Structure 1
Amino acid sequence: MKRRDTLKFAVAAAALFATTSLYTANDSVAQDKKLRIGFSQATTIEPWRAQFNKDIIAEAAKHPEVELIITDGEDKTEKQVADVENLIRQEVKALLISPKESAGLTGVVTQAIDAKIPVFVLDRNVETDKYVQFVGGDNKLIGRAAGEYAVELLGGAGKAKGNVVEIWGGMGTQPAHDRHDGFHEFTDKEPGIKNLLDQQSGDWKQDQAYNIMATALRNNEKIDLVYGHNDPMAYGAYLAAKDAGREKDIKFIGIDALPGEGVTWVNNGELSATFLYATPGAEGLRQAIKFLNGEKVEKNVVLPTLKVTKENASKIMKDNGL
């Protein structure tokens, strides 16, 4: 069925990366490399994560002095902890990590810091500030942008009315909480907006969001807008509404804006909008190399966002060869 197509693509991408956990930027000069850098990825199942890996691999290819070791946490905190412990034993010169869960990875990040390995945290933070740098988007800012646009779609500030379904990402991740909090800074000011669900987590996955939305559709005769914490979940909700014959009555907002996913779905009229959440892999690796070369780096590097609607989606696709 159509709603499984994207999942099949994501699983295929995950399999590609899982089979190559060790990546060397230039094998022919591997013996001459001086900078062994480890990257602990939370999972490669999600399309955004697959793009994340592609971007960091492409950046590593520009630096023949770098040996980049990539591990896949397989969407399991305990696996990612073991991965980082292994990278510590390999005495990597720097550790880049994108945690599955903030609390669950804090202990092993602290171990790396205690071992004098500089740590660069990408996308999701940990519960210590002793790392060298955080690189990622401002999830609260993106949530605010989504909330402001939701209010606009539902009638405008002071007049907005409608029933909203919010589908959370992982409950144990700070980005999900920030995307929720930012969104509600705008929608909670509108007495005409009613939230239909209470912290329903789709765990960032399209199929789980489909199921959440299918239940919401059965239980509610009127749904006006869906806010998914990422594009696959927003699209999963759209597909559930389409299967129920109700997609034309509902607006769908997501986050990520990958050209082949969210931007395409906006261009097709399936999502009303998506907001760019740039992958931090390439910038994170650049920053780590700068630090290892003795340059100063900022404590936080915030990547910019962009609202994608029907007005600019086609240009973004064209610029990306789609």
Structure 2
Amino acid sequence: MGGTVKRPSIGDVARHAGVSTATVSRALNSPETVTEKTRRKVTEAVEELHYVQSETARNFKLQRASAVLVVAHDIGNIYYSEIFRGIQRRAEASNFSITIANPSPGGTQDLILSNLRTSKVDGVIILSGHEIAERDMKLLQKLYSGTPPIVAMCEERGHVRVPHILIDNERAGYIAGRHLIEMGHVKIGHAYGPNRAPVRRARANGLRRAMTEAGIAINDTYFFEGGFSAIGGRSAAQSYLSLKDRPTAMFMPNDEAAMGFISQLHRYGISVPGDVSVMGFDDIVLADTYVPALTTVHQPKEEMGRHAMNLVLDIIERRTRSELPIIELPVHLVPRDSVARIKP
């Protein structure tokens, strides 16, 4: 990600606009006291430099809006809705309101900046750190000084240079692999997550490590594309069906993809777990009610949301001493009906 980028100051804005710092301050805080031409020059400089008023930081506790912006790039995704529930419950307990937004691709920076500049919110929580465009990522590095707080859900430690919440995805893949092996499977396959997601590599590596430790040969033809949707799961099922020698167990990138995979196999008369065992990931609310009930790796989604909101509040109240807090939460296996012990 490179080194730390200096956050623009009021002096930078003044130089860019060709005015004094006092004029910048008046244009921002008492715009009626400057000419329209000067106000426009200052506004353009603020936007080009992505400047956030330092007054907001210095007087943050006095000018509190008691509101947090939650940025969700896929607002209809059931996984994110469970994280949001944790954020909302913790926010309500502290008398904070939540504004939720679903930005257009590449629009994260404008959304965050407009809210921070106008002090509409006291902090920002980004539900999908891996979805942030590169230009937006650089902006967050430039903006972040701890106040106002920006917290992200992330899939890889250090992927974003703001405080973040994550799980150990490599270990999660290992846990999934160990369970399939303990159930007697040696022909194990995996459908990858999306190309853009760091979990694609981490979870597959965890599965491969479990198989290698157990002395099980890895068949690369059993590893193919999938995705985080039911459509991706159905596509993975077609790849599975095209194999002459098929795995007896599949580790899917998430529960939604696992459901799509299973439903597609049913159309071809293939039974789960009778003919093939299927392991999900996330443990979404539907996993237990699906038929067959999904064996999966549980992510503490509501807890992740609660921790994110706690982190925002801790930074606001200056209760954290770390310059870049990172919280890693544990995962665990949830055995249900979609994985069966292999028949001798």
TM-score scaled by length of structure 2: 0.68
Label 1:128 to 1:210 Cα distance change in 2 as closer, same or farther (>3 A): closer
Matches within 5 A, 1:194-273: 194-202=219-227, 204-247=228-271, 248-258=274-284, 260-265=285-290, 268-271=291-294, 273=295
**100, 117, 122: which one aligns with 1:89:** 117
Structure 1 position 81, deviation (Å): 4.0
| 1:317 matched residue in structure 2 | none
- Tell me which amino acid in the other structure corresponds to 1:218: S
Structure 1 position 37, deviation (Å): 2.4
| 1:40 matched residue in structure 2 | 71
Label 1:81 to 1:294 Cα distance change in 2 as closer, same or farther (>3 A): closer
- Residue pair 2:87, 2:306 contacting (<8 A) in 1 also: yes
| 2:172 matched residue in structure 1 | 142
Residues 209-258 of structure 1 show CA distances to partners (whole Å, capped at 9, x for unaligned) of: 11221232134352311111111111211111111111221010111112
Counting strand residues as a fraction of each chain, which structure ranks higher? 1
Distance 1:38 1:285 in 2: 11
Matches within 5 A, 1:1-322: 34-64=65-95, 66-73=96-103, 77-91=105-119, 92-98=121-127, 99-101=129-131, 104=134, 105-113=136-144, 116-125=147-156, 130-131=161-162, 133-153=163-183, 155=184, 161-162=186-187, 164-189=188-213, 190-202=215-227, 204-247=228-271, 248-258=274-284, 260-265=285-290, 268-271=291-294, 273-279=295-301, 280-296=304-320, 299-310=325-336
Distance 2:248 2:83 in 1: 32
Structure 1 position 264, deviation (Å): 2.9
Structure 1 position 130, deviation (Å): 3.9
Question: SS at the partner of 1:264?
Answer: coil
- Tell me which amino acid in the other structure corresponds to 2:221: L
Distance 2:194 2:105 in 1: 12
Label 1:36 to 1:46 Cα distance change in 2 as closer, same or farther (>3 A): closer
What's the % identity of the aligned pairs? 14
Structure 1 position 43, deviation (Å): 1.2
Question: SS at the partner of 1:249?
Answer: coil
- Residue pair 1:41, 1:80 contacting (<8 A) in 2 also: no
- Tell me which amino acid in the other structure corresponds to 1:68: I
Distance 1:227 1:194 in 2: 14
Distance 2:132 2:107 in 1: 14
- Tell me which amino acid in the other structure corresponds to 1:146: A
- Tell me which amino acid in the other structure corresponds to 1:97: I
Distance 2:160 2:76 in 1: 28
Distance 1:274 1:109 in 2: 34
Distance 2:76 2:69 in 1: 20
User: Which structure 2 residue ranges, 5 or more long, are not aligned?
Assistant: 1-62, 338-344
- Tell me which amino acid in the other structure corresponds to 1:261: L
Q: Compare relative contact order (CA 8 Å, sep 6+) and give the higher one, 1 or 2.
A: 2
Label 1:220 to 1:63 Cα distance change in 2 as closer, same or farther (>3 A): farther
TM-align CA RMSD: 2.8
TM-score scaled by length of structure 1: 0.72
User: Which structure 1 residue ranges, 5 or more long, are not aligned?
Assistant: 1-31, 312-322
Distance 2:221 2:140 in 1: 38
Residues 57-114 of structure 1 show CA distances to partners (whole Å, capped at 9, x for unaligned) of: 22222121x23322123xx541434433333333443222122436634223224316
Structure 1 position 161, deviation (Å): 2.4
- Tell me which amino acid in the other structure corresponds to 1:94: G
